Structure 1
Amino acid sequence: MNANQEHEEGFKGENTGQAAPSTPPSAPAVEALPPHRKMGFGQRIVVALLLTVVLVPPAAGFYSYFSGIPLHLLAGSNEDEESGSSAPPGVSLVSGRPHTLQVPEEVSTALGIRKNQRDEVAIAEAPTRMRPIVLPGSTTLDPTRLARVRARFAPAKVVQIAQVWDHSPKTGQTEFRELRQGDSVSKGDLLGIFYSADVGIKKNDLLDALVQLELDQRILDEAEKHSEAVPTVFLNTYFRAVQGDRNAIGRALNNLKLWDIPQSEIDALHTEAKKISADKNAWFKSPEGRWVKGENQANGGKVDHDKETENPWGRVTLRAPFDGVVVERNVHTDEMVVDNTVNLFQIADVNRLLVIASCPEDELPELEDLRGSERRWTVHTVGVASATGLSGTIDEIGYVIDPNQHTAIIKGYVDNPGKRIRAGQYVTATVNVPPPHDVVEIPTSALVDDGLQSLVFVQPDPALPHFTMRRVQVTQRFDHTVFVRNTPIPKEEQLTAQEADEGLLPKEPLRPGERVLLSGTLELKAALLDLESRPVKQPTDRIAKTRARSRSDLESQRAKKPKTGTG
């Protein structure tokens, strides 16, 4: 092989990446190195993203700092148009008027603010309706129409309770049963029959006085017929005896009447005394007289056992003092009453009930200012028509304030037609008082409540679509209207420190005659808060100049950058 061939062989070896053998074939072969590993396509993308996140923000910050171009100028030109804005298009703030919006006509129509070429507004006016005060309370029995029937004599045995004719749920038939709680009674109806030894003694005293008077009067009359033959002292003695009998009769009658012994039973004593006086042997027909005559009074005797055990003089009847309902019964048959202070029966006239209500102490002055016929209330409870209620009068305003509830007791009466209301029912008593002088009345729909403040939108000029949001102080709420304060509010009550920290508005009065918006208030509030929360924008010409200067600076920096050629 000549020199030229060797040169060509070496050149080919260089082009193919293979080294020409520099050692003779007899030399040992050198071990080959492993090939170099390359990154995949996905790994290169991840590394590029990480480098971008780590290096781009600092680079942009350094560039903005040294070039003087603000970062927001590096963003898109539509940055000022926020996609999440809640303000309707066209609604804008009125310059120089705080919390005031200018609403275009098409937006007013869409929000329902303007209908039929008229704005949906209401005029704040002085209240024309009475202000109701609702008082919780309950009903109770009229104490002036509640009879407590007691035994004024003790001891006494209950031998019978009055019977009434009623339907029996057990047998399904109508039958007699004992009088019980809830039954209606009329004046004079029988309640129960008792036997009392004391009453028997008092009746015997009256009977004895009647018989003795009959006898002494007869002797005196016979002596006066023969006065010429009778000593004067004898006439005077029997005249004195007659007067003593009359005094004994009066004393016995007073005791029986004090115990409410019926007049019919007293009349029966007078009839019995006439019989005894007319027939000297009439007493021997009584059980006592038969016993004196030696007749057998035991069970084996021939005398009627029912008549034998009957004691007409100790028999006492209790009767209803007036028409009413039995609200309490505390006795039963064969019971021995030993305490004359126990209420055996209570009869209540339920045609009228007493209402006891609780009034907060801050409402008392207005109630006390009511005079005469103004002191009336309407009571609502179960069993009464909810629309009308029951009308009644306020008869008493308590002077003592409950220190725990800070309320006073208010008492009054209401009629109970049909006896549908019961004692102890919960009631609400509504008292209408004149409205305050420092408020105006507006519809409830004009008020925007968010739990922290009460807002209205006022239209200062009817000719302009400008609406100002104002915080007001609500003093009373009703179904369809509210009372809003119209007098100046003290500075310490306008806005507290906590309210100021929460960003609330100060309270302002609402004057009579001002126009308040009725529709679209929630939407306008959201738009106003959105517009007022945006940062203050720079004038348009200033922004344009800043952007133009920044672009010229960039172009000048690019021009100054040296260009590198290829050699």
Structure 2
Amino acid sequence: MSNTPSPTPLAPRRTVVAIAAILALGALAAVLILRSGTPGGSGAEAAHGHGHSEAAGHADGEHHGAAASAHAHDEAHADGEHHEGGGAPAARKSEAGHDEDEGLIAMDAQRMETAGIRLAEAGPATVRSVLQLPGEIRFNEDRTAHVVPRVAGVAESVAANLGQNVKKGQLLAVLSSAAVSEQRSELLAAQKRLSLARTTYAREKQLWEEKVSAEQDYLQARQALGEAEIAVSNAQQKLAATGASAGGAGGLNRFELRAPFDGVVVEKHLAVGEAVQDTTQVFTISDLRSVWAEMRVAAPDLPAVRVGEKATVRATAFDSSATGEVAYVGALIGQDTRTAPARITLPNPDGVWRPGLFVNVELTASSRQAALAVATSAIQRMEGQQAVVFVPVQGGFRARPVRVGRSDAKATEVLEGLQPGQPYVAEGSFVLKAELGKASAEHTH
């Protein structure tokens, strides 16, 4: 019998190596599944199949390389998990800080003063419903005269020019008129007859009192005197009706055309040597210290337009406004326009409101007490036409969405989004809107 030891069977060793490889690959597949965050059903099966394949390969004696490879994979994944686990809190912290700062408009007291930002508190206010109507400035027809000569004649001289300011009684033009000459001649003749009638009456009265002449002669003289007085008065009234003076200085046919009141020559249709009729409009003079703002009012808006109602007139061509009163509202509605005319008398001492200028007329249609309101200048519209109000917070301001109701030029009703007494930006909110838009653009890029 020989003492040589029998060789160790290799089958158990190969089984141990295959099991170790399968366990290592299973751990590797589990790590991959955890990193990807996906369900591990199909991945596990793939890893298990791959493990069987490698186990078969290692069964040929390469178990040391498989074990080393599995150990390297385990160390690499362990290291990867360590770094990933360390970086996740930092990422979450960064995202939280970004959410906290997003929408905040940082601004200190100095920048607020420079930007003209003023705070106020939300509270009750009266909100007026304003009716806006288009209109046009026109001459005040009560202070506008269309000057006509009232006698036919020929222009000898024209003293007034277009656009000239004239005073009441100032000479505008001189006409040569045959009609005026005849009337003055008639007046002179009547005055002569009156003088003779007075002399005759005085003589006949004295003779009758002295019992020299009959009473009949005295009565006839008195009647003639009365008729002469009537003839003189009639001639004077004719001259006055034409605007001519009784005196014939410069000629019996001289007719002077004078300004009826203080105003501006806005139209002129007369030149030297031009023949005119008694109905020819030669000048238009208007007192522009008072003008009319005329508008057309639709039937549904007529109840809000009343005589004596205060109205604000705003120019469309430049920044100017004035306050006046409704002086007239038409009693009839036009068949074609289905509107009624109305006008407002405006004082115009500086001549700002020129006839022909288009304007917008604002009238208060109704008033309502709002439980919570802010200044209209505080409301800003963001993208999507969302109404916001800027409120102060720690470190600056934030835009707060609100739901608004009625509004006028001064106050806007707030239905949702603010509480009574809430401070808000009443003036300068457009600056904050611009800053918020700039920050959003930088964040997008």
Contact 1:135 1:429 in 2 (8 A): yes
Matched, 1:127 2:139: no
Q: 1:107-146: per-residue Cα shift (whole Å, max 9, x none)? A: 3444218999xxxx99764434655544432211111111
Q: 1:469 to 1:89 in 2, by over 3 A?
A: farther
Could you tell me how far 1:207 is from its partner in structure 2? 0.9
**Counterpart residue number, 1:258:** 241
How far apart, in 2, do the equivalents of 1:444 and 1:364 lie?
30
1:349 is matched with: 287
Q: Are 2:154 and 1:157 aligned? A: yes
Question: Match for residue 47 of structure 2?
Answer: none
Where do 1:163-174 residues align within 5 Å?
A: none
Which residue in 2 is equivalent to 1:421?
353
Does 2:99 correspond to 1:107?
A: yes
TM-score (norm 2): 0.59
CA contact (8 A) 2:156 2:176 kept: yes
| Structure 2 residue aligned with 1:234 | 217
C-alpha RMSD of matched pairs (Å): 4.7
CA gap of 1:112–1:329, structure 2 versus 1, over 3 A, is same
Q: How many Å apart are 1:435 and its aligned residue?
A: 4.2
Counterpart position of 1:14:
none
Q: CA deviation at 1:222?
A: 2.0
Report deviation, 1:150.
Answer: 1.0
Deviation, structure 1 residue 212? 0.6
1:504 corresponds to = none
Q: 1:75 to 1:444 in 2, by over 3 A?
A: farther
1:304-315 aligned at under 5 Å gives the runs: 312-315=251-254
2:400 touches 2:417 (CA, 8 Å); kept in 1?
A: no
Unmatched 5+ stretches in structure 2 = 1-37, 44-90, 109-118, 392-398, 426-431, 441-445
Map 1:122-521 onto structure 2 (within 5 A).
Answer: 125-128=123-126, 130=128, 132-153=130-151, 155-162=152-159, 179-227=160-208, 228-262=211-245, 266-267=246-247, 312-338=251-277, 340-358=278-296, 363-368=301-306, 375-380=310-315, 386=319, 389-400=321-332, 408-431=340-363, 435-437=367-369, 440-442=372-374, 450-451=383-384, 454=386, 472=403, 474-476=405-407, 482-483=412-413, 486=415, 513=420
Distance in 1 separating the partners of 2:295 and 2:257:
36
Q: 1:226 to 1:89 in 2, by over 3 A?
A: farther
Give the 3-state SS of the residue equivalent to 2:181 in structure 1. Answer: helix
SS of residue in 1 equivalent to 2:217: helix
Paired residues of 2:401 and 2:417 also in contact (CA < 8 A): no
Alpha-carbon spacing, 1:144–1:114, altered in 2? closer, same or farther (3 Å): same
Structure 1 residue 214 displacement after superposition: 0.7
Q: How far apart are 1:330 and its partner, in Å?
A: 1.3
- Match of residue 529 from structure 1: none
Question: How far apart are 1:362 and its partner, in Å?
Answer: 5.3
Deviation at 1:454, TM superposition (A): 4.3
Counterpart contact for 2:386–2:401, Cα < 8 Å: no
Query: 2:290 is aligned with what amino acid?
Result: R
What residue identity is the alignment partner of 2:217?
Answer: F
State percent identity of aligned pairs.
21
2:155 is paired with a residue whose SS is strand
Letter in 2 for 1:395: A
Tell me how far apart the structure 2 counterparts of residues 430 and 483 of structure 1 sit (CA, whole Å). 20
Shift of 1:244: 0.9
1:111 alignment partner, SS class:
coil
Letter aligned with residue 156 of structure 1 = G
Asked whether the 8 Å contact 2:304–2:364 carries over to 1, the reply is no
Alignment of structure 1 residues 44-83 onto 2, 5 Å: none
Residue-pair matches, total: 327
How far apart, CA to CA, are the structure 1 residues paired with 2:40 and 2:299? 66
Structure with the bigger percentage of strand: 2
- What is the distance in 1 between the residues matched to 2:195 and 2:177? 27
Which structure has greater helix proportion?
A: 2
